[in-house]
Structure 1
Amino acid sequence: MHNQLKHFFQPVKVRPWRLLPEQDAVVSSIVRLHDLEHLQIADFQVAIAGIDESVNSCNNLGCRLTPQLIRPYLYGLRRNSRSVRILELGNVLGNSIIDKYVAMREVARYFSELQIPLIVIGGSQDFTIPLYVGMQSVLPDAHLCVVDALMDDGGSDEALANNFLMSLRNSNAVFPDHVSLVATQKYLVGNTQDEIIADNGMKVLRLGDLRGDGIHLVEPVLRDTHCVSFDVSAIAHADMPGQAIPMPNGLSAHQACQIGWYAGLSDQMRVFGLFELTAETDVTGSSVILAAQIFWHVIEGIAFRYGDYPMRSLDSYANFHVCQDEIGLDIQFFCNPTNNRWWVELKNDDCARVIACSEADYKNFCEGSVPEQWWVVLRSMDCSSVENQF
């Protein structure tokens, strides 16, 4: 696959932003795929791919230019706190958009098999489809988290950037209850889309839920996520002017970086893509700098991964058994005391599923409160098709 990868990508030459000496910058951790000699691909902890394509974007052709604009700033930022080897693949090649879809699908599959996180510098968000499908061929139960101001489920089967969720649903590529939507804005999501969300058991964290300390609600969601698709429209225009449609409300720059950190820290995350940043409206260049900082936080999170569940057995964690007879639930919680991460085991007959939760979820359940998403998970369990994890 090593030689085949070279046929998928155009090598890139990057002149790093000279903020720091080269030995102190991210660039000192990067090896280009086309320069790879003595190291094996399995020796790397992160891979980076650029998508300089926007033909299926929604009135945002300028987003194809962003990989070449973001890289210099990413390369020039401080070297990550722990040693991370980064493989720079280059920009995806192809004579047509279909060729590029196929290439990114195979690349996502390959790096998912190697358990090496793939960071994607978009480009348009329709590439979420091949990235997710490629990863799902390795992880059939894969979860998708979409960070976006809108719900890209626009009403047709075309694989466009503003409709990729419908394309995934209609092709049965994703279980709808395996989709999480983060930072959506209620006035941008229609009643029909609300019905799709409710009928399919999708988890939603609206922008209002994330105000103040609410950004921490994203961490358990991302801990269960395998693919993150981040549309820059989720960020307020004041912090991210490089948008096709300026959004006055949205995530702050700090919150966007924190989401990147949580995504990288997730032991299950295999693909992280940032999409739809348009150079045409990024007059000051602050948007590409923020994008570089988001990617830096993703890599920093990867460097600090804990190797938690499912890489580590739940038997090694503190166990709390809580029974609520009034609502007919008998539940076990697990906690890693070194980082205060929590999980809950939900059972339906002989089936069991473990999902990430928070200490607040544990305390609320002790008082008789059950998150709606737990009922969704329990209803979705089909013991004939869901593997018993215990």
Structure 2
Amino acid sequence: MIFDFLLPVTDVAIAHIQLLHHQCIGNTIRVHSEREGFPDLEDVAIAIIGVRENRRDLNHLGETVCFTEIRRAFYELFPGNWHTQIADLGDVDKGDTVEDTYFAVRSITETLVKKNIIPVFIGGSQDLVYPMYRSYDKLDQMVNLVNVDSRFDLGDTSKPLEHHSYVGKIIVDKPYNLFNYSNIGFQTYFNSQDEIDLMDRLYFDAYRLGNVTANIKSVEPVMRDADIVVVDMGCIKSSELSYRHSKIPNGFEGKEICAICRYAGISDKVSSFGIFEYKNDAHEETAAMLVAQMLWYFMEGVNYRTNEDLDVEKGSFITYQVPIDDEVLTYYKSKKTERWWIEIPFISNLNNKLKRHTLLPCTHQDYLDGCNQNIPERWYKARKKNEV
């Protein structure tokens, strides 16, 4: 059982709840405590889990990571008009080996996803995304991973797995069930040309920091197609946190990263979420509160999911067909939400990864571009990946 891997929330965080308004989140969620034990997961939609593992951080100096300040900050926030039931399941401690911690994270993710509960991990080093991803091996589906990060984290796959190479390991390790990897917010000077070229060769999506901040809504279609969304706190400018967390003069501001987290939450498809590379220091209140607000926005997004039925045969979509050269692009506009999709065709004589027609989320601008005889780049990459 997953509770075998989980330590209860610290008494300090539990005691803080007693000081809060009765409508605060701390008094409305189910908490794994020493006194009350493991909470009932019936009707729970989101489960928070801390993971105290950071040994694969190349800058690790033996320090431990604690999430008490994040919990105190999160508990004292007021929920919106939410109907979503949340549980805080406590922490996964460091195992005897890093692989032991990976096994715990993989088991927890697999169990919760099967129960239609979204695991929300707060962690140390970002290599913890690897066991999150591997938990989907038994779910018989191709996986789309979105990483909000200044780096691609492809790394050198000939070396042991670490926090800047976990994506490379995901790509090369069997079983191969990664369909798409998207990076949001990369900064070119943090990524080698080899990594940039590899992203192009694999038809993965990458969005530069400046382009995303200029149009934050461009994130929404990417999130709508994601199964796993993870955030590296190194993508946030250090003035928004503390210089203990990072020495990053450029990055997302607090309101931008919260908007991105909300887009992740509102996606009907996202089934696991994580915030990683959190570090403790003596003046961490600002960083802890920002993480708490990122969690809040993700959960608000989940609360407002539309659970849209993508069966285009049911008449809930308006269909637009746009001829471009030898192609006919088929767009669909939802009558319910006015969101847009474009169809990735199934080609019967090829070994298609998706095995069927698939709808790729897009924007109204993508439709207008198609009308102007410009094939959307995400459609082109998705089709190429399907044919490889």
**TM-score between both structures, scaled by the size of structure 1:** 0.89
Aligned residue number for residue 343 of structure 1:
341
Question: Which secondary structure state, in structure 1, belongs to the residue aligned with residue 322 of structure 2?
Answer: strand
Q: Does structure 1 conserve the Cα–Cα contact (< 8 Å) formed by 2:238 and 2:245? A: no
More helix by share: 1
Q: Does structure 2 conserve the Cα–Cα contact (< 8 Å) formed by 1:233 and 1:243? A: no
Q: Does structure 2 conserve the Cα–Cα contact (< 8 Å) formed by 1:63 and 1:122? A: no
Aligned residue number for residue 56 of structure 1:
56
Q: Does structure 1 conserve the Cα–Cα contact (< 8 Å) formed by 2:320 and 2:331? A: yes
Question: Which secondary structure state, in structure 1, belongs to the residue aligned with residue 297 of structure 2?
Answer: helix
Structure 1 residue 359 displacement after superposition? 1.1
Q: Does structure 1 conserve the Cα–Cα contact (< 8 Å) formed by 2:141 and 2:177? A: no
Q: Does structure 1 conserve the Cα–Cα contact (< 8 Å) formed by 2:143 and 2:178? A: no
Aligned residue number for residue 268 of structure 1:
269
Structure 1 residue 71 displacement after superposition? 0.9
Q: Distance in 1 between matches of 2:19 and 2:254?
A: 22
Gaps in structure 1 of 5+ consecutive residues: 384-390
Aligned residue number for residue 375 of structure 1:
380
Q: Once the two structures are superposed, what CA deviation does each residue of 1:40-62 show, in whole Å capped at 9, x if it has no partner?
A: 52410111100112111121458
**TM-score between both structures, scaled by the size of structure 2:** 0.89
Aligned residue number for residue 387 of structure 1:
none
Q: Once the two structures are superposed, what CA deviation does each residue of 1:291-346 show, in whole Å capped at 9, x if it has no partner?
A: 11001111111111110245x6663422222232x422212222223322111112
* Paired residues, number: 375
Q: Once the two structures are superposed, what CA deviation does each residue of 1:88-137 show, in whole Å capped at 9, x if it has no partner?
A: 21111433322111011011111111121110011110100001111343
Question: Which secondary structure state, in structure 1, belongs to the residue aligned with residue 128 of structure 2?
Answer: helix
Q: Matches of residues 278-289 of structure 1 in structure 2 within 5 Å? A: 278-280=279-281, 283=283, 285-289=285-289
Q: Distance in 2 between matches of 1:134 and 1:296?
A: 25
Q: Distance in 2 between matches of 1:153 and 1:31?
A: 37
Q: Distance in 2 between matches of 1:170 and 1:378?
A: 21
Instruction: Tell me: CA distance 1:192–1:60, structure 2 relative to 1, closer, same or farther (3 Å).
Output: same
Question: Which secondary structure state, in structure 2, belongs to the residue aligned with residue 137 of structure 1?
Answer: helix
Aligned residue number for residue 6 of structure 1:
3
Instruction: Tell me: CA distance 1:267–1:274, structure 2 relative to 1, closer, same or farther (3 Å).
Output: same
Instruction: Tell me: CA distance 1:166–1:104, structure 2 relative to 1, closer, same or farther (3 Å).
Output: same
Aligned residue number for residue 321 of structure 2:
322
Q: Distance in 1 between matches of 2:238 and 2:45?
A: 33
Whichever residue aligns with residue 381 of structure 2, its letter is: V
Identity, in percent, stands at 23
Q: Distance in 2 between matches of 1:336 and 1:82?
A: 25
Instruction: Tell me: CA distance 1:368–1:154, structure 2 relative to 1, closer, same or farther (3 Å).
Output: same
Q: Once the two structures are superposed, what CA deviation does each residue of 1:206-246 show, in whole Å capped at 9, x if it has no partner?
A: 1011123x111111001110111210111111112255441
Q: Distance in 1 between matches of 2:15 and 2:372?
A: 54
Aligned residue number for residue 352 of structure 2:
none
Gaps in structure 2 of 5+ consecutive residues: 349-355
Question: Which secondary structure state, in structure 1, belongs to the residue aligned with residue 185 of structure 2?
Answer: strand
Q: Identify the match of residue 208 of structure 1 among 207, 210, 226.
A: 210
Aligned residue number for residue 351 of structure 2:
none
Q: Distance in 2 between matches of 1:249 and 1:314?
A: 46
Q: Once the two structures are superposed, what CA deviation does each residue of 1:184-205 show, in whole Å capped at 9, x if it has no partner?
A: 0012111100111011111111
Aligned residue number for residue 246 of structure 1:
247
Whichever residue aligns with residue 352 of structure 1, its letter is: H
